[in-house]
Structure formats: C-alpha cells, structure tokens
Structure 1
Amino acid sequence: MERKRWTSLFIKHGENEAIEFFNTYETRVDFDIISEPAEGLTMIKVREHAENSLFYIGEMLVTETKIRQGQTVGLGVVKGSHAKLSEALSFIDLCFKLEVLKEELVDILAELELKEAEFIKSRTNEILKTKVDFDMMAE
C-alpha cells in the first residue's frame, strides 16, 4: 500500500490504532530519534486552475517527528497539535520502509479500510436524505 493511502487511513480513522501499535511494538525495532515531536508552521500550496499556476494560500500548524534506523528515516507529519500520533506515524513509516511488522500493519489497515467504507456509506446515506426530488416538486 502506498504511503499516502495508509497515512490517510491512520489519520482519518485510526489514530488510536496507530498509537496502540507504536506503544506495543516500539521495543521490537531499534531506532534513534532525529527530532522529537515538534510543532511548526507549513505553507499550503494550491493550484489556481484558470491560469494553471501555484500560489500559497496560507500557513497551517503541523506536528512533525523524525526517527532513524541506520540510513532509513521515518517521518510523521500531522495537521494540528498531535505529538503522539506524529510519533506513531513516524514509527509506522520506518516499519514500512524496513519491511518489519508488515503483517501486523496490513491487518490493521484492512480494518481501517472497512471503517472508512462504513463511514463513506453512512455519510452518503446522510447526504441522500437531503436530496430533492424535482419530479415531486412539479406536481
């Protein structure tokens, strides 16, 4: 699974699962901390489609953590102030890059994909309840 997808799943639907995974397995993987969870601001870049140009719309608060094993670096960046989640995501990133504890992560991600599917289904049903039937309005 690609990084963008699993990061999105953990952030949207699995914050507790990510932190629990980190707390459970952090002693099984040796790593050095490059930078502790730290808050900072990052510029948000947006594409303006009329002229197809990029511009910065503003800043956003993020929490970032970096860890390392050898030459492999794990990075966890989260919107807002979430030190534990950032730390957990950096550990998960390192595990994926080192290809350790991959089976455990795949099992967790399968559960999170089911959670996301259920969330999308319920959200779609909420939206469809507000749908206007124009044929009925014409009568």
Structure 2
Amino acid sequence: MNKKKWTTLFIRYGKKEAAEFYALHKDQMEYTTVSGPVEGLTMIKVREHAQNSLFYLGEVRVTETKLRHGKEIGLGVVKGDEPELSTALAFIDLCFKTDQFTYTLNNILSDLEDREAEAVHKKTQEILRTKVNFDMMND
C-alpha cells in the first residue's frame, strides 16, 4: 500500500489506532527525534485545468514531526494542531521504511479499509435517498 493511501486511512478513520500503535510499539524500536511536533504553514498548490497551470491557493497550518532510525527518516504531517497524531504517523512511516511491525500495521490498515468502505457506502445511500427522479415529476 502506498504512503498516500495509508496516511489518508489513518487520518480519516484511524487516529485512535495510530496513537495506540505508537504507544504500544514506541519502546520496542530505537529511534531519535530529528524534529519534534512543530507547527508551521505550508502552501497549497492547485492545478488550473483550463490552462494546465499551477497556482497557490493559500496556506494551511500543519504539524510536522521527523523521526530517524539509522539512515531512514519517518515524516508525519497533519493539518491543524495535532502533535500526537503527527508523531504517531512519523513513527508508522519509519516502521514501513524499516520493515518493522508491518504485519500489525497491515492488519490495522485492513480494518481501516473496511471502515472506509462502510462510510462510503453509507454516504452513497444518503445521497441516493435524496436523489430527485425527474421522470416522476413529468407525470
């Protein structure tokens, strides 16, 4: 699973699971903190499709954490002020890069994918319930 997918799953559906994983496994792996949870601003780049050009939409406040194990660096960046989640995501990124605890992480991610599918199904049903049938309006 790519980094964008698992990061999205943890941020949207598994904040508690990420924090629990970090709390459970942080003492079992040796790592150093490159930079603790630091708040900052990042520019949001958007593609304008008519002219196919990039422009900056604005700034977003983020919390960023960097952890190191050997040569590998784990990065955790989240929107807003969430230092615990940022640290947990940096640790999870480090685990994936060093192939440690990946079996446990894949099990958690499997559960989060099921939760995502359920949420998408529920949202789809809500939308379909409010859908207008134009054929009935003509009768």
Q: Same fold (TM over 0.5)?
A: yes
C-alpha displacement of 1:20: 0.3
Letter in 1 for 2:127: I
Letter in 1 for 2:57: I
Give a deviation string over 1:84-120, Cα, whole Å, max 9, x none.
0000000000000000000000000000000000000
Q: 2:41 matched to which residue of 1?
A: 41
Secondary structure of the corresponding residue to residue 92 of structure 2: helix
Q: Distance in 1 between matches of 2:66 and 2:107?
A: 25
Q: 1:58 matched to which residue of 2?
A: 58
Q: Distance in 1 between matches of 2:127 and 2:63?
A: 33
Letter in 2 for 1:17: E
Q: Distance in 1 between matches of 2:44 and 2:90?
A: 21
Report % sequence identity.
55
Indicate the RMSD between aligned Cα atoms, in angstroms: 0.4
Secondary structure of the corresponding residue to residue 26 of structure 1: helix
TM-score of the aligned structures, taking structure 1 as reference length: 0.99
Q: 2:15 matched to which residue of 1?
A: 15
Q: Distance in 2 between matches of 1:26 and 1:6?
A: 19
C-alpha displacement of 1:55: 0.5
Q: 1:131 matched to which residue of 2?
A: 131
Q: Distance in 2 between matches of 1:124 and 1:61?
A: 31
C-alpha displacement of 1:8: 0.5
Q: Distance in 1 between matches of 2:38 and 2:44?
A: 18
* Structure 1: unaligned runs, 5 residues or longer: none
Q: Distance in 2 between matches of 1:108 and 1:50?
A: 41
Q: Distance in 1 between matches of 2:29 and 2:134?
A: 59
Q: Distance in 2 between matches of 1:11 and 1:79?
A: 9
Map 1:1-139 to 2 at 5 A.
1-139=1-139
| Aligned residue pair count | 139
* Structure 2: unaligned runs, 5 residues or longer: none
Letter in 2 for 1:31: Y
TM-score of the aligned structures, taking structure 2 as reference length: 0.99
Secondary structure of the corresponding residue to residue 64 of structure 1: strand
C-alpha displacement of 1:70: 1.1
